[in-house]
Structure 1
Amino acid sequence: MAGQLFGYARVSTTDQDVSIQEAALKAAGCAIVRAEKRTGTTTEGRVELRNLIDFTRAGDTIVVTRIDRLARSIGDLAAIVKELESRQVSLKATEQPIDTSTAAGRAFLQMLGVFAEFETAIRRERQLEGIEQAKSLGVYKGRKPSIDPGRVKRLVAEGKGASEISRILGIGRASVYRLMRP
């Protein structure tokens, strides 16, 4: 008996739309498509992906439109593929020649994973370069402080403890303790 096809769609931000991916996955024969709006740089917090993997059985296939919808790091991609292989579940991509049930598909998957990780690293480097340049021009000053150290010190002087100060100001106790240090 042939397994079932399950689709997984993902976008990184809430202002992006998964409908194009969902339509492509349904056109590829996926009766069930799980979608979420989460970053691809980690698998943490990706509930729909976890549910989908847990739901699959030997002989099933998880289908994505592109491999970067599944993972952006080679480590995460390798862990996902290893788990799928241990469950005897295949992985396919509709827009790339990836099918882990074949040797060529596995090789292509590994190459794409390397490029996805490289792309993420380059993007991060460019972002940091841009921030440094903006700082040097005085344009970027970072986030404004959300805690008034003077107010914390006044509350300490009034004899209030860290727990009470954190409750009054709506901040974490660790932040209060950090500001209380000499």
Structure 2
Amino acid sequence: MKELLVEQEKNNKIYGYARCSTNETKQDIQRQVRELKELGATDKTIYTEYESGAKRDRIELNRLLEVIQNGDTLVTTEVSRISRSMKDLIEILDILKDKMVKVILGSFTLDFRNGDVDPMVKAMVNMLGVFGEMERDITSSRVKSGLENAKANGKKLGRPNTTIDNIPNIFLKYYPRYKSKKINKAELAKLCKMSRTTIYKYIRLLE
């Protein structure tokens, strides 16, 4: 994992994808970023976001899948960073296969550039996808059980209402740039690593 990738052809790029499920106040995504840089990706070619691995429609992942081209390489620190859903993992790998790129998921390499993929490696990746989905389902089941138990004991459940007082600092940092029309809503969402729905909610609160 720590070894640098074989030097790419002149026009090919190494892209990196890093993902955490919770926001930047709870999980540090920089460890992944550092490892991706060691593998040859750069600040300009690394896409990061805070989204659930069970969610297929992720802004930065979709952007990455659009820009990556034939002969390029995509690296992640592990399979689950790409997806925790077996169905979505297969769909994403099919997209990368059609684009004929090299995919490195942790210790597994799927080289679609020549159309030849080691069937054993692909089977192992698929199996990891199954385990990732199962782990997610078990965690979800435990959370639901805990919520039901708390509700039975009379505890108040649900997220606290969002107010101006608890808008994240990272949004407040970039909001003035949006207000002065230096960036649009999409760019603001990217800088804050938030969904557009969340961005719209915060803007409504402030305006």
Q: TM-score of the superposition, structure 1-length normalised?
A: 0.71
Match of 2:108 among 75, 84, 98: 98
1:53 equivalenced with 2:43 (yes/no): no
- Equivalent position of 1:156 in the other structure: none
Counterpart of 1:81, as a letter, is L
Which residue of 2 is the match for residue 10 of structure 1?
Answer: 19
Name the residue aligned to 1:107: 123
User: Residue 80 of structure 2 aligns to which amino acid in structure 1?
Assistant: D
Could you say what secondary structure the match of 1:100 adopts?
A: strand
| Count of residue pairs the alignment pairs up | 142
Q: Which runs of 5+ in 1 are unaligned?
A: 147-182
Q: CA offset at residue 51 of structure 1?
A: 1.2
Matched, 1:29 2:40: yes
State the secondary structure of the residue aligned to 2:36. helix
Match of 1:164 in 2: none
1:126-165 equivalences under 5 Å are 126-138=142-154, 140-143=155-158
Alignment match, 1:116: 132
- Name the SS of the counterpart of 1:34 in structure 2: strand
Answer whether contact 2:147 2:157 (CA < 8 A) is retained: no
Q: Distance in 2 between matches of 1:49 and 1:133?
A: 36
Instruction: For structure 2, list consecutive stretches of 5 or more residues without a partner in the other structure.
Output: 1-7, 112-116, 162-207
What TM-score comes out, normalization by structure 2 length? 0.63
Displacement of 1:106:
1.4
| Residue identity opposite 1:124 in structure 2 | S
After TM superposition, give the deviation of residue 37 of structure 1 in Å.
1.5
After TM superposition, where is structure 1 displaced by more than 3 Å over at least 4 residues in a row? 141-144
Letter in 2 for 1:111: M
Q: Identity, % of aligned pairs?
A: 33
**What is the DSSP-based 3-state SS (H/G/I as helix, E as strand, rest coil) of the residue aligned with 2:15?**
strand
Structure number with larger C-alpha Rg? 1
